[in-house]
Structure 1
Amino acid sequence: MTISLNGQWLLACVQRSAIQDLHINLPGDVHSALYAAGEIPDPYWATNEKKVQWVGECDWIVSRHFELTAEQLTCNAMDLVLEQLDTVAEIRINGHTVADFNNMFMRHKVDVLSCLQVGANRIEIVLHRADLAAKNRADKLPFPLPWAEGNNQIPFMNTLRKPQFHSGWDWSICLSVLGVYGDIVLQPIEHVRISHLATKQKWHQQGCELAVTLHYEVVSEKGLANAAVTFDGQTFHLTLDRESTKASVIFRIDNPRQWWPAGYGKQQLYKLALEADGVAITKQIGLRKLELVTEDDEYGQSMVVIVNDVPISARGANWIPLDAMPARMTEQRYRSLLTDATAANMNMLRVWGGGMYEKDIFYNLCDELGLLVWQDLMFANALYPSTPDFIAEVEQEVEFQVRRLKDHPSLVLWCGDNEVLGAINREPESRQHREKHLINYDRLNRTLAEVVEREDPSRRFWASSPCNGELDIIDTWHHDPQRGDMHCWDVWDSGKEFDAYLQVTPRFCSEFGFQSWPSLPTVKSYLPEQDWNISSPSFESHQKSNNGNSIITEMFTRYFRFPNGFVNMLYLSQVQQALAVKTAAEYWRTQKPINRGMLFWQLNDCWPVSSWSSLEYSGRWKQLHYHARRFFAPQMATFTRDQQGLKLHLVNDGRKNTELKGEVVWQSWEGEILYREPITQYLAADSTKVVWEWLNEDLDGHEQDGFFHVHLHSGQQLIENTWLPARPKYCDLACPDLRFEVAEHNNEIVVMLSSSKPAFFVHLEFEGEGRFEDSSFTLVPEHQRQIKYIGSASYDEVVQGLRVYHLKQSY
């Protein structure tokens, strides 16, 4: 029977005698415990980040007592297991040092039976400060390795196997947290120690064979142990002997219920269960075929995920860790964010390499929801050692993580790192000594590839993001849109306009994006009202991207009339962000099959901050997320304009043909209908086509008369889009006389909106918890809208806390 050591421990600071015997709940982190005890202010409020830096510059001891009986100590071994220990730590039991650890990305396990005693026992975990450990490691390197300077506030974090964002990033606070973030247990071993359980699928015409392999070590003197493996109602009984370290069984499944990504089919999951020596392991298995295909074609080289023989158009975003304070990473928040990703019609997330290999709940939910996972290994934006010790440490880490995650049907590929290959040509040190650093990179990257290919031959290893493919170390930082994956940052980093997205068609774009400021309710959660100014020190302390506020503001002047006041600046920044990402995503979707994937940067925030996210730290939907729900919808309509004229494209990513009915309308700013044409189209599965055109000569001299709007239905699905003839600042918008009323019908709260003239980027914002069925849309007089509120607030709370914006009122 496993003995849990989770719960209340005592916390003491080595360097500060006044901070002793505080309570800390483990799993948890030191900062959260200090905040709960009143020893530090809220790190996320105003400029408090500076006031709490001392925490990461100290060593800490967490300790507790626990009782053991004589019966519990009759086992052959007693493993102390720590699921997620951050990071440089010494473990003591009853005064004996039993282990030293220095890798947060490992499950640490050590036999401590010889140190335990009947009755009271004491365990201590000494958490050493990361900055000194990183400096000590850097001093021992054979040559200097550039670290992520400009993102990290603490140097040399590339020498530690710790989340790189812990020392700051261009969207993250710098806290250098310490703690234990996973379960802490004592595991008695009577007869057999289970290493891991692995599966392999083999498909044939009649169905699927599932090979299940149990890896183990027999420790009892009798040299035998029993195990039972059950899948889909079938059970195999195994005898485990000391002469071997693994045992396998094969389950045959006829006509299997296949697992599909979101939008392509159901997420069928089977239960796989193992029982051995009092240990029970359960996994959810999705049966599906998977390929990542990169083949030469007429456009260069493809990059497409194929599931169950169907090409998938990947639509989604990049995932960063849920919170900068790990104690706040709750299952409910994981479920909320991932559910919101699928609500926005996403089917893929990329786990970014400067964060962490995510918790089991993340991958389990992705399996349940149909979210494909692009999994970076944890290396980002810096150069890393390739010394024998570091290679050995990383080899163990990757072996463990691949074994832990490989059976998830949602997992698509393993990627070696984020932008490390590009860093070689970015940093002065590596530019000057490029050959040496290329060899250093290749040594580490090949090790990663070898481990992945050995442990999980069913998936591709992708060397770096961005890159041209496996073991290809040609620099693609400046992009080769004809092959590989691409990080398209010309708009944000280089100051190009949104139309720059129309000049490139990546085969797979794994990063692109534009920043916005948070909504007013989120700003209220971290700033006092006297600091509601984009130039206030407090507001600027929550902007971690160099010149980020200046970039947002300068882009206002290109596209919009300058907003009136702080609140409208927040609103307009989200309009602008949505417009930027929408421009890229809609155009690239019309370019199928050249483009088969787009993941914008980024889905979520790890603290309240100005960033590229579509979901704020609180989970509140930015306008971008509402737009993503439309531009990532399986069926989508969008306008483009070229030298011939204005065109309407329809896109269908679904597996079935579909019929779309509605109309295209040209409407004046005052609401007068200048032209309308009915649309009825049958759209083949996995296709895109132009269904309507208006030639340039027909528009000449009349472009500024109004805007085009498409309004279609596919079954119950509403498909809309708007084309403005010029940048919004040049459009002569009328005051729309927008009216709204909150009503309650059949236990549902709805907001009824109408206007006498067209209103653009109509956005509903609620002070409390929850979201709306739709927002940031065009409202035209002939189509009044009823928007459902989704959340737990009462009718009165929605009435009091609702604010409605539109573009005309922002200036």
Structure 2
Amino acid sequence: MSSFFKILIFSCSLMLLFNACNDFSSSEKVLHIDLNNDWYFSQNNSDQWYVAQVPGCVHTDLFNNNLIPDPYFGINENFLQSIGKSNWTYKKTFSLDSLVLNKEELYLVFEGLDTYADVYLNGNLILSANNMFRTWKVRCNNLLKINNNELIVKFKSVFAVDIPKWQKAKYRLKACDNNDQADTMISMYARKAPFHYGWDWGPRFITYGIWKPVYIEAWNYAKINDIRITNNEINNTTASLNANVEIEASQNCNIEIDITINKKHYRKSQLIYKGNNIVSVPLKIDNPILWWTNNLGGQYLYTIKTDLRKDKVLIDSKIFEYGIRDLKIVREKDSLGTSFYVKLNGIPVFMKGANYIPQDNFQNRVTSDKYENIIKAAVEANMNMLRVWGGGIYENDIFYDLCDKYGILVWQDLMFACSMYPNDTDFYQNIKHEIIDNVKRLRNHPSIALWCGNNECEAGWESWGWKNDLSVNEQNEYFENYKKLFYELIPHTIDSLDERYYHFGSPNTGFNNIEINNGDNHYWGVWHGNASFSQFKNNIGRFVSEYGFQALPEISSIKKFTNPLDRNIKSIIMLNHQRCMADKRKDKSYGYKIIEKYMINEYGIIPEDFNQYIYLSQILQAKALKTAIESHRLNMGYCMGTLYWQLNDCWPVVSWSSIDYYGKWKASHFQVKKSYNPFLIVFNDEKDSIKLYVVSDNLKKIDASLQIKILDFNGKNIWNNSENIFIEPLRTTLKYIIPKNEILSKVELNKVFLYAEAINDNKIIASNSYFFVSDKELDLPQVEIFKELKKADFGYILILRSTKLIRNVMIKIENIDYQLSDNYFDLLPDMPVNINIFTKTTQEKVGENIEFFTLNELKRLK
């Protein structure tokens, strides 16, 4: 045989051996068989089946099959309540190949079932689920076959399951009237998203379905169940970490773990035993790049890849990103009370953000683009924290991934809100598993700042009359059980899983001015208490985790859920989409009444025109948030966080949101972007003077030129001053005192204003205006706006000029899709403003459709 053929035969043998090894390797890996497709659903006792979407829910499945109208349009909500009172069944058939069936371990995994569900596999009841927030895994080795596997999920109505609990209860468990919008309140009995039952900004859609992915997991020998990274020590030169790898084994065997971080390997071999095992692998990273919040530094994420091998064959692998940071919640007693602040990488950081609710009542409608858009909107508004509020859901992984990526810390509530809760053993065990599932899922995210037990449950018990119908013994019994849940079971469970700070409940100081010097507080004196906006300045907590004001969404959004005749606040449609109600939900116009009271107080007018009403509600909301945020940031050091209520909506509604359901920014979001700017000028009006402060969230001291002017509304200079200043990092400092009598004694205060700006490297890094009288007293001039439209890569630059003061300029461009860099702003005399218009529409169409509306015009229509 020639040498050529010998080489050829040898090479072919090597290839066969290599391919055989590859086949062996691939056959040993953990398999995930997606079961999300080809589902059908039916109402129980019906022979009619329809195509279903998984992940999904029954409401969207009914809508997609043209069986119900748009749930959000008009008052359709009222006609769809029977859906939640019915039982529903989902089914599918599927096949498997022998490679799957020959695995040692076969598990059926549901990442989310909403809520009470019996699961049948090939006629066998394998699971009875009772918690929307848990992951359900069922071993099904002897139940699967190659062809015609039938999977059936039967959802039971919460009414069928929970009304009997309500009937048997020793005493009535209470919730807020607007939050469980029914005479028989049962929301607290189900581990289901509380807002599904209604809220004071949300509809009542009690839905069911397979709301997260479902799949089969098949494996031999062992698999990685979880990886927990913990910080031992972090400094400028070294990050000492630990990887605790949780491995489930089907037999005793020797394994090797190989963890790769930035091409560096950390290996460990160990004998593991049948069942669950924890293998600890020390990690050391030299010169670590730390993770910082938005506007404070970069968000470097290390890629951590963990391979599991048996006999040198790869059998499982996990990969995720991890940010190295040292974060503490500092609660220390001081001369003023007890602090509450975030210390990130050794730096006390002022938190600027908002409360976040689910983006839709039907979670499957929330696309990855919607997640990206809402987080980017928070970043654009200079936020560094969002609170995932406790009446919604533990968010999907993509939400936390984006917060990691963009530097947004997450205050993570557990899913308890504004309610009393049961105290039986089964309920507590259910909650324990819920906490385990979600803390393990989320704990490696650098964005998670803290865990919080609940929203307003304790405050509601103390302040909302829930205890009034209970005897003293029943009150004592309930509150002891409350403490067992939120002060014992939950924190003990979390402590075994994660080292983060646990906050028993928010607020921990009660409402309004109760113990406002200790921890976080919710201030609702403005809005619910009818207090003036100035009271924001007198009710500043150590960390203000809720406050807010309502506004209507813009007219383009309202048009999507109304007919033309419905577009007034007295229409049944607009009343239905305003859920801040009073008198046990009988007074449906209550929210509008509050808005109108503040319209009169602040502007002296309630517009009759619907578009003008929308406009005024929006600048009113913006003014409220501006006043609150400036007050909180002015007191940096004492106050170290401000989270307004709320960032977003779950359906089209009049609410406290700064971004409406359709993603449109209200005036308030544009204002928040300015008020959360890293540098902020704040004026504080005192008896004989106005003090000018500069707030800095920057890590470094910088120099700036401070320009201060008093102008009349026609641009005439009354007084000016220029100072070279240093802006100290991470603090608020007094920079100038303006004597009132000396400067203002000879001017009409309703015709002049104060303006200041700080300039660094020829850029305005902060600016603000101050008016000496209320908006309703201002004598604003007639509108005079000159515009110029220039082409740009992103769309257009709109240049606006005026020789007069124009207040709250609203730009509206009809019939096109666009986004603006700013809106509802003041156009100052002889100070041009450049507005970026992000659109793909032609310049001619943009130019001919631009419209303006201003406070100047509104006041003249009075």
The interval holding the TM-score normalised by the smaller chain is over 0.9
Q: In 2, Cα distance between the equivalents of 1:800 and 1:541?
A: 35
Please tell me whether the aligned partners of residues 303 and 507 of structure 1 are also in contact (alpha carbons under 8 angstroms): yes
Aligned to 2:11: none
Aligned to 2:602: 559
> Do structure 1's residue 366 and structure 2's residue 403 form an aligned pair?
yes
Matches within 5 A, 1:619-630: 619-630=663-674
Please tell me whether the aligned partners of residues 430 and 437 of structure 1 are also in contact (alpha carbons under 8 angstroms): no
Matches within 5 A, 1:292-691: 292-431=329-468, 432=470, 433=472, 434-445=475-486, 446-457=488-499, 459-467=500-508, 479-546=514-581, 547-562=590-605, 563-691=607-735
- Structure 1 residue 564 displacement after superposition: 4.9
Deviations 1:461-490 (A, max 9, x none): 11000005xxxxxx5675322111000000
Q: Which amino acid aligns with 1:799?
A: G
Distance 1:292 1:429, change over 3 A: closer
- Structure 1 residue 675 displacement after superposition: 1.7
Deviations 1:80-102 (A, max 9, x none): 11112111111111111110101
Q: In 2, Cα distance between the equivalents of 1:33 and 1:797?
A: 39
Please tell me whether the aligned partners of residues 82 and 182 of structure 1 are also in contact (alpha carbons under 8 angstroms): yes
Matches within 5 A, 1:117-266: 117-154=145-182, 155-205=185-235, 206-220=237-251, 223-235=253-265, 236-239=267-270, 241-242=272-273, 245-266=277-298
Q: In 2, Cα distance between the equivalents of 1:531 and 1:603?
A: 26
Deviations 1:744-801 (A, max 9, x none): 1455411121123110111223454342112221112211112111344443453355
Distance 1:657 1:407, change over 3 A: same
Please tell me whether the aligned partners of residues 804 and 830 of structure 2 are also in contact (alpha carbons under 8 angstroms): no
Q: In 2, Cα distance between the equivalents of 1:798 and 1:76?
A: 64
* 3-state DSSP of counterpart to 1:196: strand
Q: Which amino acid aligns with 1:135?
A: I
Please tell me whether the aligned partners of residues 620 and 770 of structure 1 are also in contact (alpha carbons under 8 angstroms): no
Deviations 1:659-681 (A, max 9, x none): 33252221212332222222432
Q: In 2, Cα distance between the equivalents of 1:181 and 1:717?
A: 48
* 3-state DSSP of counterpart to 1:28: coil
The TM-score normalised by the length of structure 1 is 0.96
Q: Which amino acid aligns with 2:822?
A: D
Unpaired runs of 5+ in structure 2?
A: 1-30, 309-313, 582-589
Aligned to 1:472: none
Q: In 1, Cα distance between the equivalents of 2:827 and 2:643?
A: 29
Please tell me whether the aligned partners of residues 131 and 157 of structure 1 are also in contact (alpha carbons under 8 angstroms): no
Matches within 5 A, 1:700-715: 700=745, 702=747, 703-715=749-761
Q: Equivalent of 1:274, from 293, 303, 306?
A: 306
Aligned to 2:117: 89
Please tell me whether the aligned partners of residues 191 and 225 of structure 1 are also in contact (alpha carbons under 8 angstroms): no
Q: Which amino acid aligns with 2:716?
A: E
Q: Which amino acid aligns with 1:410?
A: S
What is the root-mean-square deviation of aligned Cα atoms in Å? 1.8
Aligned to 2:823: 775
Q: Which amino acid aligns with 1:100?
A: S
Please tell me whether the aligned partners of residues 794 and 839 of structure 2 are also in contact (alpha carbons under 8 angstroms): no
* 3-state DSSP of counterpart to 1:81: strand
Deviations 1:352-407 (A, max 9, x none): 00001110001110000000110101100001112111111101111111111111
- Structure 1 residue 224 displacement after superposition: 4.3
> Do structure 1's residue 755 and structure 2's residue 802 form an aligned pair?
yes
Greater alpha carbon shift after TM alignment, 297-306 vs 570-579: 297-306
* 3-state DSSP of counterpart to 1:425: helix
Q: In 2, Cα distance between the equivalents of 1:783 and 1:717?
A: 12
Deviations 1:261-315 (A, max 9, x none): 1111100100112233643322211111111111122322211100000000000
Distance 1:464 1:704, change over 3 A: same
Q: In 1, Cα distance between the equivalents of 2:193 and 2:596?
A: 32
Unpaired runs of 5+ in structure 1?
A: 469-474
Please tell me whether the aligned partners of residues 103 and 161 of structure 1 are also in contact (alpha carbons under 8 angstroms): yes
> Do structure 1's residue 10 and structure 2's residue 40 form an aligned pair?
yes
Aligned to 1:694: 738
> Do structure 1's residue 804 and structure 2's residue 852 form an aligned pair?
yes
* 3-state DSSP of counterpart to 2:441: helix
Q: In 2, Cα distance between the equivalents of 1:325 and 1:794?
A: 36
Deviations 1:144-203 (A, max 9, x none): 321343211242111111000011101111111211222111000211243311110111
Deviations 1:623-647 (A, max 9, x none): 1111111110110112120123212
Distance 1:255 1:525, change over 3 A: same
The TM-score normalised by the length of structure 2 is 0.90
* 3-state DSSP of counterpart to 1:423: helix
Q: Equivalent of 1:784, from 794, 813, 832?
A: 832
Greater alpha carbon shift after TM alignment, 651-660 vs 284-293: 651-660
Q: In 2, Cα distance between the equivalents of 1:634 and 1:464?
A: 29
Please tell me whether the aligned partners of residues 234 and 325 of structure 2 are also in contact (alpha carbons under 8 angstroms): no
Please tell me whether the aligned partners of residues 84 and 206 of structure 2 are also in contact (alpha carbons under 8 angstroms): yes
Distance 1:247 1:797, change over 3 A: farther
Q: Which amino acid aligns with 1:461?
A: Y
Q: Which amino acid aligns with 1:105?
A: F
Percent identity between matched residues is 29
Q: In 2, Cα distance between the equivalents of 1:799 and 1:31?
A: 42
Please tell me whether the aligned partners of residues 754 and 769 of structure 2 are also in contact (alpha carbons under 8 angstroms): yes
Q: In 2, Cα distance between the equivalents of 1:360 and 1:801?
A: 41
Greater alpha carbon shift after TM alignment, 611-620 vs 267-276: 267-276
Distance 1:625 1:463, change over 3 A: same
Q: Tell me which structure has the larger Cα radius of gyration.
A: 2
Please tell me whether the aligned partners of residues 28 and 179 of structure 1 are also in contact (alpha carbons under 8 angstroms): yes
Q: Which amino acid aligns with 1:272?
A: I
Q: In 1, Cα distance between the equivalents of 2:772 and 2:117?
A: 61
Please tell me whether the aligned partners of residues 218 and 240 of structure 1 are also in contact (alpha carbons under 8 angstroms): no
Distance 1:49 1:440, change over 3 A: same
Greater alpha carbon shift after TM alignment, 762-771 vs 486-495: 762-771
Distance 1:327 1:636, change over 3 A: same
Q: In 1, Cα distance between the equivalents of 2:707 and 2:552?
A: 35
Distance 1:240 1:543, change over 3 A: farther
Q: In 2, Cα distance between the equivalents of 1:486 and 1:270?
A: 36
Aligned to 1:722: 769
Deviations 1:559-611 (A, max 9, x none): 11423511011011010001011101101111111010000000011111100
